Structure 1
Amino acid sequence: MKPLLSNQLFTNKSNRPIKIIQFGEGNFLRAFVDWKIEQMNQIGFFNGNVAIVQPLSNGLEHLIQKQDCLYTVRLNGFQNGEKINTNEIITCVSSITNPYQNFPSFLDLANDDDARFIISNTTEAGIQFDATETFSMDFPSTTFPGKLTQLLYHRYIQNKAGFILIPCELIEKNGEALKHAVLQYAASWKLGEEFINWIHLENTFCSSLVDQIVSGYPKMQEQELWDTFGYTDHLMVTAEPFHFWVIEGPSWIEDELPLRKANLNVIFTNDMTPYRNQKVHILNGSHTAMVPPAILANLETVEQVMQDKDLSQFINNLVQNEIIPTLQLPRNQLENFARSTLERFKNPFIRHELKSIALNSISKFKTRLLPILKNNIEQKRNTPDYTIFSLASLLFLYKSDSEERQDDEQVIAVIEHAWQNPETLVHTLLSNSNIWGEDLSSLEGLEESLQTHLNNIEQFGLREALHHLLAKTEV
């Protein structure tokens, strides 16, 4: 048995001041944020460590403490055509606190004048307000914003400076949502106007957009990796080499968090909307578009899609001809992002199953691809046949009950009912504003095009229908 990764084994850990309080000890934050802190520290641009707060009563506190807050990040995949395979011990985590077991030590984090940033990832459901909670400084709130309000209040009563807060939860305008929840708690708990003013004046809530596939603990390879490392590590985490972080806030934040000086793929901006649209439509939109035709073609993973001549061409044409022309960033920047996205899709080291992306495909289509479809039609570009073909594949996939059809029960019921009358199916579904939020049947040429692609899939099968589309659009 190899020795456990700990301070006794690894003696190069530096005693730096704690500059970041991090709500969340999961794989993503440790591979995405803490890895970046490590890079800044190594180059000498930051000189700061991280104090982790375990957001739930059950978590990794014991394991992290047993390994003296040390763990390995593995980057595995391709970047700019080059194979990346690195293993790095992360040393920037100083401590982990479980507020449910030691609430005073949690509040003590607010006493540290060096602590400047609060970063979080408590899942999409983590930023919420519970109106039933009552205020106490003796035990933790059940929600993340509640515990954050307690920490901020403890900071405030000591007349200390506020924080820069950068949530990483996957919701739109997460910084604004977090601030709103904190203010709700401050008002509900009657903590006073002076505290509320301090929240506004002394704290900066930034919204952020994160992008990296973190596949987590490599269970199937653990013994092989331990032999390679020469130590046992129960906290190692695997991620793809690509990373992208957009932070929306005042420009001066970059001076305090010099991520770009460490050559990291981070953007500071006063408006993250174009970057969000870039990710939502190119990356997420491609995922959503590929799933129905790929499943109908009996494929299982994103990598298989990119190895498939027909479907990889389908995705490339969709991105280049229908998605990129609708976005607001410079064309070369969008093409670079698209190129890196397609390279990521080919990563043989990450098994990204299509059925895991298929969940709630109708709502995903509405968010990620419907704006693309509408923009192309309304701006009188070429008919967005690839987007429409994906929708046709989705409707056909939902025709029968299968394990890939994982969606809202009411949406499935509407589609099943519409399939009972195939002649009016397309018009019935496009005009259903309960599904799309509007009547799509009036969009010029959409009904006819969707009906054609649906007929082709039903009559000839997915492959022949796709061949027909590719031949038509290559002319």
Structure 2
Amino acid sequence: MVKTPVIQFGTSRFLQAHADLFLSEARPARGITVVQTSGDAARGRRLAALAAPGGYPVRIRGFWEGRAVDETRTVTSVKRGLSAASDWAQVVRVFVEEAEFVLSNTGDAGYQPRPGDAAQDYDPAMSFPAKLFHLLAARHAAGGAPLVVMPMELVVDNGRELKEAVLSVAALRGSDPALVSYIEDGVTWACSLVDRIVAAPLEPAGAVAEPYALWAIQTAPGVVAPAVHPAIEMVDDLAAIERLKLHILNLGHTVLVDIWQRRGGQGDPVVRAFIALPEVEEALAAIYREEVLPVFARLGQADAAERYMAVTLERFANPFLDHRLADIAQNHAQKIERRIGAFLDLAGATDGALRQPRLAAIAGRAA
């Protein structure tokens, strides 16, 4: 049996076209065990296809450095697929005996506590932090080998947030101080930011994605990248990159969903066609110019924000991608909170004289 130094929680098409692809192309190539954290039967079928011996395809479509790109790459990094519901003993074994890196992308509500988190025994209905607590407890009981946990959820300071969520589970359970110490100091919790538009799934596994890709990892003691790849960067100031991505690209996506829903939410529009409507383009441009860019200027990121906005609009208009607004609209309330609500908080803390009436209205509608 091939050993997998990476264990990944989540089977999303984003991960398929991002981390899984990078670790397939990286040097050294890294084997991955993918764990399905939900009980969704459709994702169960995907799980088997991800670990197929011949790999699965990722189609890259768009423009890169002035040229059109339309190519298919084969991902062979996924060596094993397991279900947290039906294969828990095997998940524990891999986590304890093989894992050096833990990746996760469990969705916008993935860190939220659930009623069963305090239960003594493992339950598949637990939150992801509670599942991770059980796995870390098993690893600690087996000797507590070092481990890098690298969440990929679009949460500010995601490593710190996940660590605090796991420690909250430990406190809820009145855990042994030695285990708590291991979670706090024996595990390295990395903060990272991921960026790539993954527009559509391929069946039974794979995805269609744009050429642009980034996996930025905050430098910190004990934090190392899982492999060397052009899209993987160790950075000294993750917060600056995070703000651009979360409050320009992701905020823009959520604004487009709000506009679509206020227009009745009819049909099944894709981003490139929707933003080509003059009134939609004007509405988004006004929010960027009048409500977003002034805040970045106060933060000393005026030029970077201007450039990132221009690149974002090009990515939205990618003629090769069918990025459905209905897909972006999933977990819309949580996305508004993280992308727009957090930006309003940032704006208020940066310069209270600046106003964001349109963004405030979107946040108000979700309240």
Any idea what SS the aligned residue of 1:95 has? Answer: strand
Number of corresponding residues: 354
2:48 alignment counterpart? 65
1:273 alignment counterpart? 239
1:324 and 2:293 correspond:
yes
1:142 and 2:126 correspond:
yes
Aligned 8 A contact 1:174 1:208 in 2: yes
1:171 alignment counterpart? 155
TM-aligned CA deviation for residue 55 of structure 1: 0.9
1:284 and 2:250 correspond:
yes
Mapping of residues 266-415 of structure 1, within 5 Å: 266-269=233-236, 271-288=237-254, 301-304=270-273, 306-308=275-277, 312=281, 315=284, 319=288, 323-327=292-296, 328=299, 330-353=301-324, 365-368=340-343, 378=353, 390=358, 411=365
Question: C-alpha separation between the residues in 2 aligned to 1:125 and 1:105?
Answer: 25
Question: C-alpha separation between the residues in 1 aligned to 2:301 and 2:77?
Answer: 36
Question: C-alpha separation between the residues in 2 aligned to 1:291 and 1:273?
Answer: 25
User: Which has the larger Rg?
Assistant: 1
Find 1:54's aligned residue among 26, 30, 36: 36
Output the amino acid matched with 1:28.
F
Query: Residue deviations 1:391-424, cap 9 Å, x none?
Result: 69x79xxxxxxxxxxx98xx58xxxxxxxxxxxx
2:214 alignment counterpart? 244
TM-aligned CA deviation for residue 159 of structure 1: 1.0
Q: CA RMSD in A?
A: 3.7
Any idea what SS the aligned residue of 1:246 has? Answer: strand
Aligned 8 A contact 2:146 2:187 in 1: yes
Which moved further from structure 2: 323-332 or 189-198? 323-332
Question: C-alpha separation between the residues in 2 aligned to 1:371 and 1:200?
Answer: 29
Any idea what SS the aligned residue of 1:21 has? Answer: strand
Any idea what SS the aligned residue of 1:18 has? Answer: coil
Aligned 8 A contact 2:157 2:191 in 1: yes
Aligned 8 A contact 2:199 2:323 in 1: no
| TM-score, normalised with respect to structure 2 | 0.79
Aligned 8 A contact 1:22 1:118 in 2: yes
Question: C-alpha separation between the residues in 1 aligned to 2:166 and 2:346?
Answer: 32
Query: Residue deviations 1:420-439, cap 9 Å, x none?
Result: xxxxxxxxxxxxxxx7xxxx
Output the amino acid matched with 1:36.
F
Aligned 8 A contact 1:131 1:188 in 2: no
Q: 1:333 to 1:80 in 2, by over 3 A?
A: farther
Mapping of residues 71-90 of structure 1, within 5 Å: 71-90=56-75
Mapping of residues 114-125 of structure 1, within 5 Å: 114-125=98-109
TM-aligned CA deviation for residue 34 of structure 1: 0.5
| TM-score, normalised with respect to structure 1 | 0.63
TM-aligned CA deviation for residue 357 of structure 1: 5.8
Question: C-alpha separation between the residues in 2 aligned to 1:374 and 1:136?
Answer: 43
Q: Structure 1: where are the runs of 5+ without partners? A: 1-14, 220-233, 396-406, 413-434, 436-475
Aligned 8 A contact 1:21 1:119 in 2: yes
Question: C-alpha separation between the residues in 2 aligned to 1:73 and 1:356?
Answer: 19
1:38 alignment counterpart? 24
Q: 1:97 to 1:308 in 2, by over 3 A?
A: closer
Query: Residue deviations 1:198-257, cap 9 Å, x none?
Result: 1112101123322222223246xxxxxxxxxxxxxx212112222233323516523x43
Q: Which has the higher strand share?
A: 2
Output the amino acid matched with 2:120.
F
- Aligned-pair identity in percent equals 25
2:86 alignment counterpart? 101
Q: 1:152 to 1:249 in 2, by over 3 A?
A: farther
Query: Residue deviations 1:309-346, cap 9 Å, x none?
Result: 67546655754675334323654433432232111110
TM-aligned CA deviation for residue 131 of structure 1: 5.5
